Amino acid sequence: MTRVVPWWTAILVAAAILVRCGTGGGDTCAPASVNLTGHWAGSWSSSKGLGEGTISFRSLVQSGPAVKGQVSFGRSPCFSGGAISGSICGDTFTGALSAGGIDVKLSARVSGTQMSGGSYNMVSAGACTGDTGTFSAQLS
């Protein structure tokens, strides 16, 4: 037996899809309230006992919400750093470091010259894969 769906059901489904997707997939982002351009220096600490050290965001360049540059993790037992790209949404920076087989996700709140509440997740980083931790930095 074939079931007939009322015509209004199709219209409601289509309307729901359009409302959800809009022009940007339904994600909203406040315009960047800070500018990350410059050099940032601070410290990182592993929450899984892999150590702690310095973190340096070098040559960050922000264009609109997009951010690119280099990041290094001083005294990391698994890698030294690599290229980072990400975005700033309001006061929140979200980025990803990529270097060979290394993949690290980072996020932090930015206020003026301070990056705080930072966290990282080493998605793919050799012996450090699965490590998570915190970091903070300031514009230098």
Share of the chain above pLDDT 70, in %: 81
Q: Please say if the pLDDT value at position 8 is more than 50.
A: no
Boundaries of every domain in the chain: 38-139
pLDDT of residue 12: 40
Which of 109, 125, 111, 102 has its CA nearest to residue 46? 125
pTM for the complete prediction? Answer: 0.78
Q: Please say if the pLDDT value at position 2 is more than 70.
A: no
Mean pLDDT of the 11-31 span:
51
Class of the CATH domain delimited by 38-139 = mainly beta
